[in-house]
Chain A
Amino acid sequence: MTEEIKHSNWKLRKGQIIAAKQMTATEKWFDIKLEDGRLDHEPGQFVQVELYGIGEAPISICSSPTKRGSFELTVRAAGRLTKAMHALDKGDWVGIRGPFGKPFPVKVMTGNDLLFVAGGLGIAPLRSLINYVIDNRREFGKVDILLGCKSPSDMLFGDEVAAWQKRLDVEFACTVDRKDPDWKGNVGLITSLLPGVTITPEKTFAVVVGPPIMYKFVIAELLKKNLPERQIILSLERHMKCGMGKCGHCQIDHPKNYYCCKDGPTFTYEEVKAAKKL
């Protein structure tokens, strides 16, 4: 006896790629339009992307909700699905579930100074918030953006980064681990940029997104600047397979039983400092 599951949360929305661009050797950017309307996400959320016949993977939404009509993903060819996704182009269809996850706490941050710290691909989820803040710039105090990547050729969103650099209402600095002959900017780890930033601890929120190793050192620097733990916001990486707090893959080793897909991926440092690994 076959019955239709009318309300199945496994059903996929259909998204068509309306633009795609290879950004670096390993990262490709996609602009996706849903056939049934808006994604209606908030900064910091993610979607499950289904390539029919290949599988599904969680991908951070890298565009701001202030950009209406379509949403953007930046995908590193790191696993089986993401490698296959790099073969897709304009006109191709994907399945989408979501948006999932707890967004960055935009309401709490409103009226405060913001310090964004992005390492590597961390710029992808953080860009959804940075562009949201820039589009609502007068709601916030001072805005600093610190960006770090392995080498100048790994830099993502180059044109946009150049535009941030020129803006008068945003302070911007970036650094690379390894320079190339044309690079005239900073060389060194992202922590080397932090001493140059002046913050008012009682009214600053730092939003830090990058690989686990970066969290350790950046958080230590921020705490040295007397920034309260609850004003340090992170976005953690786990393999969220279902997005609904059930499959178990993204659970964080933390006394509070956090699932990265439902309770995160964004957390304050105060919330997750008891985790075995960030």
Chain B
Amino acid sequence: MNYHILAKTELDGFIKKLSKKMKVCAPVKKGHDNFAFEEVASAGEIALNYIPTILPPKKYFMPPREKLLDFDLSGEKPKDAANLDAEKLAIFGVHTCDLAGIQCLNMVFSEKPRDYNYIMRKENILIIGLECNAYCDGHASCALVGNHYPNGGYDLFFTDLGDRFIIHVNTQAGEELVEGMGLAKAGSADMAALDFVREGKRSAFQNEIGVDPKSLPAIFEKAGESKVWAELGSRCVSCGNCTNVCPTCYCFDMADTINLDMKTGFRTRTWDSCQFETFAEVAGGENFRKERGARQRHRFFRKFKYPLEKFYRSFCTGCGRCTRTCMAKINLKDTLKALAAEAK
């Protein structure tokens, strides 16, 4: 195990040195209780104690709007090219819930046929995680899905030990970075302090819904006809906020744009939402998920049911963003509790 130490007073130097090598993005405060990943040049800009950002770091891996193709129609037959603008980037301060989210997306886009737009962006991104020593707020359910501790998915991982950070080095790229910065190796006192933090979390983070996570597959097996969905549907306004802020929602739509010269143009993909009424509609007019309740059921199934068989994990990372952002106060924890109560 390879651990290094960075004094908190040295964080500014760390960020400044890193930003000379590549663009650095980190959580920045955006008004009351709101944070966003943005480019930073110094530690002073970073909100180290932040609740999950408005958008998860997926925006760097799969931008809300992304060009897939450039095309040129000026010749006798059309020409097109697939180009990518992906700069080298370090994301600092990624919480364990969001690390899990990135791992989910990595699996989705690496599955054949592969999405090289995503994969090439990912290869250009260095990930520096940051441990949550306490809950962000009451909406998180990271302990339920086991994401309150780090489960890989980072190059470097920072844990706050009061006056210093202990850094776990997980990859060669991470190793080269800390070597280049000349950071000291962690000693036995540092390791004991890390153990103390982790031990403290064991009691601080508890299953947030009081339902055994192992029973969730069985609960969702029975949830197809649940009354809960109609109730959610009666409140949902189909705004799509929950899917936009979700670290593992990746559904998209595509569209063409013609430039003003009327000869060249481009094809883009944009985030889409299964909560929108037209999402499952076909040209003939048939809509396979017309009811809002059916669309909410679909969203929950895509977190707690379908991915279990395909990717061997829940696609809910426990970040709590969907609950925080919902205008109709649809609450993920309450929904799971209601489904569990009904399944009894």
Contacts and interface: CB of A to CB of B under 8 A. Distances in A.
Interface stretch (B11-19, B70-78, B130-138): B70-78
Nearest to B79: A14
8 contacts: A1-B87, A5-B82, A10-B82, A11-B82, A52-B78, A53-B71, A241-B252, A241-B254
A9 B84 contact: no
B258 A53 contact: yes
Interface string A234-261: 0001110110111111011101110000
A54 B68 CA distance: 15
A7 B302 CA distance: 29
B286 A212 contact: yes
Interface bracket on B:
35 or more
B113 A12 contact: no
Contact of A237 (B115, B282, B289): B282
Interface string A75-113: 010110010000000000101000000000000000000
Contacts of B252: 241-242, 246-248
Nearest to B310: A257
B77 A14 contact: yes
A9 B116 contact: yes
B306 interface: yes
Contacts of A252: 288
Interface in B265-315: 265, 267, 269, 272, 274, 279-284, 286, 288-289, 294, 298, 302, 305-306, 309-310
A5 B286 contact: no
A252 B298 CA distance: 10
Contacts of A76: 283-284
Contacts of B298: 251, 253
B7 interface: no
Contacts of B269: 247
A158 interface: no
B194 interface: no
B84 A3 contact: yes
A255 B283 CA distance: 25
A128 B190 CA distance: 69
Given A238-B288, A246-B109, A248-B251, A14 B78 contact: yes
A35 B75 CA distance: 15
A99 to B, nearest CB: 12
B322 to A, nearest CB: 16
B195 interface: no
Interface string A1-26: 11111111111101010000000000
Interface string A55-81: 111000000000000000000101100
B188 interface: no
B86 interface: yes
Contacts of A79: 283
B233 to A, nearest CB: 14
B227 to A, nearest CB: 16
A253 B83 contact: no
B250 interface: yes
B283 A52 contact: no
Interface string B43-81: 000000000000000000000000011010100011011
A138 interface: no
B87 A55 contact: no
A277 interface: yes
Contacts of A184: none
A7 B114 CA distance: 9
B111 interface: yes
Interface string B101-130: 000000011010111110010000000000
B256 interface: yes
B258 A253 contact: no
A211 interface: yes
Nearest to A8: B82
B163 interface: no
Contacts of A93: 77-78
A54 B108 CA distance: 28
Interface string B129-152: 000000000000000000000000
B86 A10 contact: no
